[in-house]
Amino acid sequence: MPTTDLELVRGTLDLLLLKTLSWGPMHGLGVVRWIEQVTNQRLQVEEGALYPALHRLEERGWLGSEWGYTEKGRRAKYYELTAEGRRQLGHEVTKWSHYTEAVRLVLTSEGAR
Protein backbone atom coordinates (compact mmCIF):
# COMPACT_ATOMS: atom_id res chain seq x y z
CA MET A 1 0.00 0.00 0.00
CA PRO A 2 1.45 3.43 -0.91
CA THR A 3 2.50 5.80 1.80
CA THR A 4 0.43 8.92 2.31
CA ASP A 5 2.84 10.82 4.52
CA LEU A 6 4.45 12.88 1.77
CA GLU A 7 4.13 16.60 2.30
CA LEU A 8 3.96 19.01 -0.59
CA VAL A 9 7.25 20.76 -1.13
CA ARG A 10 6.79 24.48 -0.67
CA GLY A 11 6.01 26.14 -3.97
CA THR A 12 4.74 23.02 -5.74
CA LEU A 13 1.02 23.45 -5.12
CA ASP A 14 0.67 26.13 -7.81
CA LEU A 15 2.42 23.87 -10.30
CA LEU A 16 0.20 20.92 -9.40
CA LEU A 17 -2.97 22.99 -9.70
CA LEU A 18 -1.97 24.50 -13.03
CA LYS A 19 -1.08 21.09 -14.44
CA THR A 20 -4.27 19.48 -13.15
CA LEU A 21 -6.40 22.21 -14.68
CA SER A 22 -4.53 21.93 -17.99
CA TRP A 23 -6.71 18.86 -18.62
CA GLY A 24 -9.88 20.94 -18.46
CA PRO A 25 -12.18 22.78 -16.04
CA MET A 26 -12.69 21.21 -12.60
CA HIS A 27 -14.21 22.16 -9.29
CA GLY A 28 -12.04 22.15 -6.17
CA LEU A 29 -12.96 18.66 -5.01
CA GLY A 30 -12.36 17.36 -8.54
CA VAL A 31 -8.86 18.84 -8.46
CA VAL A 32 -8.11 17.14 -5.14
CA ARG A 33 -9.46 13.80 -6.33
CA TRP A 34 -7.48 13.96 -9.58
CA ILE A 35 -4.19 14.68 -7.77
CA GLU A 36 -4.83 11.89 -5.26
CA GLN A 37 -5.76 9.45 -8.02
CA VAL A 38 -2.81 10.19 -10.29
CA THR A 39 -0.34 9.98 -7.37
CA ASN A 40 -1.89 6.75 -6.03
CA GLN A 41 -2.87 8.62 -2.86
CA ARG A 42 0.74 9.67 -2.18
CA LEU A 43 -0.10 13.37 -2.31
CA GLN A 44 -3.12 14.82 -0.60
CA VAL A 45 -4.11 18.46 -0.81
CA GLU A 46 -5.89 19.87 2.20
CA GLU A 47 -8.85 22.18 1.64
CA GLY A 48 -7.15 24.77 3.84
CA ALA A 49 -4.38 25.03 1.25
CA LEU A 50 -6.41 24.34 -1.90
CA TYR A 51 -8.95 27.15 -1.93
CA PRO A 52 -6.57 29.97 -0.97
CA ALA A 53 -4.24 28.75 -3.75
CA LEU A 54 -7.05 28.61 -6.32
CA HIS A 55 -8.13 32.14 -5.37
CA ARG A 56 -4.53 33.39 -5.55
CA LEU A 57 -4.06 31.89 -9.03
CA GLU A 58 -7.35 33.43 -10.10
CA GLU A 59 -6.28 36.85 -8.80
CA ARG A 60 -3.05 36.56 -10.81
CA GLY A 61 -5.08 35.94 -13.95
CA TRP A 62 -3.87 32.36 -14.38
CA LEU A 63 -7.31 30.86 -13.75
CA GLY A 64 -10.82 31.79 -14.71
CA SER A 65 -13.90 30.45 -12.97
CA GLU A 66 -17.62 30.08 -13.29
CA TRP A 67 -20.35 28.49 -11.27
CA GLY A 68 -21.85 25.23 -12.40
CA TYR A 69 -23.19 21.95 -11.09
CA THR A 70 -21.37 18.73 -10.22
CA GLU A 71 -22.35 15.33 -11.52
CA LYS A 72 -24.36 14.96 -8.30
CA GLY A 73 -26.26 18.20 -8.90
CA ARG A 74 -24.41 20.27 -6.31
CA ARG A 75 -23.48 23.85 -7.09
CA ALA A 76 -19.70 24.29 -7.43
CA LYS A 77 -17.19 26.78 -8.76
CA TYR A 78 -15.31 25.42 -11.77
CA TYR A 79 -11.78 26.65 -12.46
CA GLU A 80 -9.94 26.60 -15.77
CA LEU A 81 -6.62 27.81 -17.10
CA THR A 82 -6.47 31.10 -18.94
CA ALA A 83 -4.00 31.69 -21.78
CA GLU A 84 -1.78 33.42 -19.24
CA GLY A 85 -2.14 30.39 -16.96
CA ARG A 86 -0.95 28.09 -19.76
CA ARG A 87 2.13 30.26 -20.24
CA GLN A 88 2.75 30.25 -16.49
CA LEU A 89 2.44 26.46 -16.42
CA GLY A 90 5.27 26.29 -18.96
CA HIS A 91 7.43 28.57 -16.78
CA GLU A 92 6.63 26.53 -13.66
CA VAL A 93 7.48 23.23 -15.37
CA THR A 94 10.83 24.65 -16.52
CA LYS A 95 11.64 25.95 -13.02
CA TRP A 96 10.70 22.58 -11.49
CA SER A 97 12.86 20.70 -14.00
CA HIS A 98 15.87 22.90 -13.18
CA TYR A 99 15.25 22.47 -9.45
CA THR A 100 14.93 18.69 -9.58
CA GLU A 101 18.03 18.42 -11.76
CA ALA A 102 20.01 20.44 -9.19
CA VAL A 103 18.74 18.23 -6.35
CA ARG A 104 19.61 15.11 -8.38
CA LEU A 105 23.18 16.40 -8.76
CA VAL A 106 23.48 16.79 -4.99
CA LEU A 107 21.95 13.39 -4.24
CA THR A 108 24.14 11.54 -6.74
CA SER A 109 27.32 13.38 -5.81
CA GLU A 110 30.18 11.20 -4.62
CA GLY A 111 31.23 13.58 -1.87
CA ALA A 112 32.86 16.93 -1.24
CA ARG A 113 35.80 17.89 -3.38
Task: Quick: pLDDT tens for 51-71.
Answer: 999 999 999 999 999 999 998
Q: Between the CA of residue 106 and those of 51, 63, 97, 100, 109, what are the distances in Å?
A: 34, 35, 14, 10, 5
Does a structural domain hold residue 2? no
CA dist., res. 72 & res. 22, Å (int): 23
pLDDT digits (tens, 9 = 90+) for 17-52: 999 999 999 999 999 999 999 999 999 899 899 999
pLDDT at res. 5? 59
Please state the pTM of the whole predicted model. 0.86
d(CA 31, CA 47): 11
113 domain-assigned: no
Instruction: Indicate whether 42 belongs to any domain.
Output: yes
Give the model's pLDDT for residue 2: 52
| Domain containing residue 19: CATH number | 1.10.10.10
CA-CA distance, 44 to 74, in Å (whole number)?
Answer: 23
CA distances 1 to 6, 36, 45, Å, are 14, 14, 19
Count the domains in the chain. Answer: 1
Q: How far apart are CA 104 and CA 93, in angstroms?
A: 16
Whether residue 37 lies inside any domain: the answer is yes
